[in-house]
Amino acid sequence: MLNKRTITLSSMYKLTAVAFLSALFVTHLPGTLLAQTCDNPIEICGNEPTNIVDFADVDFTGQAIDTCITGSFMTAIGFHTTYLSSNTGVTISMTGVDCAGTLLSAIVVEPNVLDPCNTSLYTAVSNCESASEDFSFTTSDLFTNTDYLILVSIDNASLPPTCGFVIEAYGEPLSIEACCPTNIGYLESTTLEVLGGDGGLGYVWSPSETVDNPTAYSVVATPNTTTSYQVTGFVEQCEYTDQVLVVVGTDIDVPNAFSPNDDGINDYWKITGLSSYTRSRLTLYDRWGQEVFRSIAYPQPWNGKRRSNQVPAGTYYYVIELNEPGVELDPITGNVAIIR
């Protein structure tokens, strides 16, 4: 069972003046990441789990940070937000926590880039969270293109023989966004762009063959089939990826009900866009799986009759196969209710 306590903070406040002394001693374990200090944190990227297996012996002076980071051992992990504006925070996930039952405490702060160890200049952007097992927490809103520190402390007078965890940070402030999904006709083009990356470092669009400038933030795409484009952007040492879909062909709108009772109102099942697919096939089934209606290219809206006889009121199920060369779309399926 999770052993967790939370000390509530306001989302933004200046922390009490504290000074970190340099790490006095760090034991190096081969093939592992060493614990780091506020002026030399372990740098992580969004959505990339990182294994932390060591802590530095740190001497706190003055008041402890928020009365939560009170242990004698800590490590500092840094991340840098992308250029994507967001009104959500970053989630910090700590899994595989194995510190012999010892309580870990963690908080996220915005340091001063010119004096990263001066805690009087820190701004807290999360609550201080404590647990001896796996846990996660989310920051408040973060600035774009900004450095943040995750401070993790062992709330113990002595360092456990072994202590480690896997940390991951994720959320909109650690991502980019490809914009925007669209639908175009054959041989038409559309403009796509990506938000959040560092334009000075460039981008990589793929497939590159159908875009005009595969390293630009804004590209003109001219796919001959429905295509999911992937774009990779860069912020400092981190690489982020997003996708955007361009559907080639006409939008199809299928109503889910009509009332063929000859009152002149909604008497026909009017499917827009389907007639543009001259090879399309629509098949309608009743609830027992018997075929009720079939049409190629749907030239005329259906009137709810089968061989001149009205079909009973109820729910019917359709499958639309586009069968158009160059359009790689799954069949469109759904149901329509006949109301009488």
pLDDT, averaged across the chain? 84
d(CA 210, CA 123): 46
E-assigned strand segments in 29-186: 42-43, 50-52, 56-57, 60-62, 73-80, 91-98, 104-110, 123-124, 128-131, 135-138, 147-154, 164-170, 177-179, 182-184
> What pTM was computed for the model?
0.67
Our measurement of the distance from residue 293's CA atom to the centroid of its chain's CA atoms, rounded to an integer in Å, reads 42
pLDDT band at 85 (very low <50, low <70, confident <90, very high): very high
**Model pLDDT for residues 226-278, shown as the tens digit of each residue:** 888 999 999 999 999 999 989 887 778 899 999 999 899 999 999 998 887 88
pLDDT for the residue numbered 327: 55
Are both 177-248 and 257-338 of the same fold? Answer: yes
> Under CATH, what is the fold of the domain 177-248?
Immunoglobulin-like (2.60.40)
For residue 236, what is the DSSP state?
T
Residue 2 scores a pLDDT above 60:
no
Which pLDDT score, from 0 to 100, does residue 161 have?
A: 84
CA distance linking residue 326 with residue 92, whole number of Å: 44
Give CA–CA dist 73/148, Å, rounded: 20
Check: CB of residue 282 under 8 Å from CB of residue 295: yes
Q: Is the pLDDT of residue 21 over 50?
A: no
| pLDDT confidence bin for 18, thresholds 50/70/90 | very low
Mean pLDDT lowest for which of 3-7, 138-142, 182-186?
3-7
Alpha-carbon distance of 76 to 94, in angstroms, equals 14
Residue 335: its H or E element: strand 332-338
211: burial class by Cβ within 10 Å (0-12, 13-18, 19+)?
Answer: buried
| Per-residue model confidence (pLDDT) at position 24 | 26
pLDDT 10s digits, 287-296: 999 999 999 9
**Nearest alpha-carbon partner for 56 in 73, 77, 39, 43:** 73
> What fold is seen in the domain 257-338?
Immunoglobulin-like (2.60.40)
What pLDDT shows up at residue 50?
A: 95
Domain ranges of the chain: 4-173, 177-248, 257-338
Amino acid making up residue 35: A
pLDDT at 176: 96
pLDDT in tens, 294-338: 999 999 999 999 988 999 999 999 999 988 665 566 789 999 999
- Residue 287: strand, helix, or coil: coil
Distance of CA 300 to the CA centre of its chain: 43
Residue 25, pLDDT > 60, answer: no
Q: How far apart are CA 131 and CA 193, in angstroms?
A: 42
- Outline where the chain has alpha helix (H): none
pLDDT level of residue 129 (50, 70, 90 thresholds): very high
Q: Can you give the pLDDT at residue 257?
A: 96
CATH architecture of 4-173: Sandwich (2.60)
CA–CA gap between residue 289 and residue 291 (Å, rounded): 6
Phi-psi sector, 279: left (phi>0), alpha (psi -120 to 50), beta: alpha
pLDDT greater than 60 at residue 17: no
| pLDDT greater at residue 340 or residue 148 | 148
Q: pLDDT tens digits, residue range 222-236?
A: 998 788 899 999 999
